[in-house]
Chain A
Amino acid sequence: GQNIDQPTEMTATEGAIVQINCTYQTSGFNGLFWYQQHAGEAPTFLSYNVLDGLEEKGRFSSFLSRSKGYSYLLLKELQMKDSASYLCAVMDSNYQLIWGAGTKLIIKP
C-alpha cells in the first residue's frame, strides 16, 4: 500500500528552527508537496520538490531525497503565526496525490 508518515505533533520556541520530517512509500513518484493549514482553514501551498536537494523560499526550505523516500520542511526564525499543521503529500505514478495526516506545530513564546 501507499503510505506517508510524519510526526503527529511537534513543539518549538519562537525564534528557533524546526525540521518536520516526512517519509513515503508510494507507487511511483511525480513530486512531493508541503502545505500549511491553520486550524479551521484551507491548506495553502508552501513548496514542491521533484528533484533531489534543497529548495529555499524565505524562512521555509524543503529537502528531498528520492532514493531514501524522505523529505523535510525546515522553518527558520519561527514566529507565532507559524503555529499550524503542515501536510506532506506525494504525487504517485498515476498523478494522484497521497496525503500524510499532517504535523501539528505548536510554537511557544
Chain B
Amino acid sequence: NAGVTQTPKFRVLKTGQSMTLLCAQDMNHEYMYWYRQDPGMGLRLIHYSVGEGTTAKGEVPDGYNVSRLKKQNFLLGLESAAPSQTSVYFCASTPGLAGETGELFFGEGSRLTVL
C-alpha cells in the first residue's frame, strides 16, 4: 500500500544547483499536484497535471518546471536553486477533481534547503 511516494525526503543544495523531485503514485490517479509549505503560510500550488502528458501552472510556478511523461510519475525540477526555494514540498494526487472525490492523497514530503 505505497500510495504516493516522494524522493528524496531531504536534500541540501547550494544556490544555483539544479535538482529534480520525483513523485510516484500507484493508485492510477489522473490528477497530480506539487505544493510547497512554508511556516505561517498555507499550502501553495506550484504546478499540477490533469493527465499523462499535461501540465499547468499553479499559484507559484516561477523557478520550477514539471513533467508528466508517465501517468504514475510527476517530476518537479529546480533549474537554478535559490534560498527562497527552501521549503517542504508535497506531492498529492486525486482520481479526478478533488471537489468530486473529496480527498487529496499526499506524499510524505521532501524537505529542501538551499544555502
Contact = CB atoms under 8 A, between A and B. Distances in A.
Q: Do A and B bind each other?
A: yes
Interface of A: 4, 8, 30-31, 33, 40-45, 48, 50, 87, 89, 91, 95-102
Contact of B45 (A41, A48, A96): A96
Contacts, number: 53
A45 B44 contact: no
B99 A91 contact: yes
Interface of B: 40-45, 58-59, 90, 97-99, 102-104, 106-109
Given A41-B108, A42-B108, A44-B106, A99 B99 contact: no
Contact of A42 (B41, B103, B107): B107
Contacts of B98: 31, 33, 91, 95, 97
Chain A at the B interface: SS class: loop
Instruction: Name the residue in B99, B102, B106, B109 with the highest tally of chain A Cβ atoms < 10 Å from its Cβ.
Output: B99
A94 B88 CA distance: 25
B107 to A, nearest CB: 6
A101 B41 CA distance: 4
Contact of A33 (B41, B90, B102): B102
B31 to A, nearest CB: 10
13 contacts: A8-B40, A31-B99, A33-B103, A41-B109, A43-B90, A44-B106, A48-B102, A50-B99, A89-B42, A96-B59, A97-B43, A99-B44, A101-B41
Interface centre among B41, B42, B59, B104 (most CB of A within 10 A): B42
Contacts of A45: 102-104
Across chains A and B, which 4 residue pairs bring their CB atoms closest together, nearest first?
A: A99-B42, A48-B102, A42-B106, A45-B103
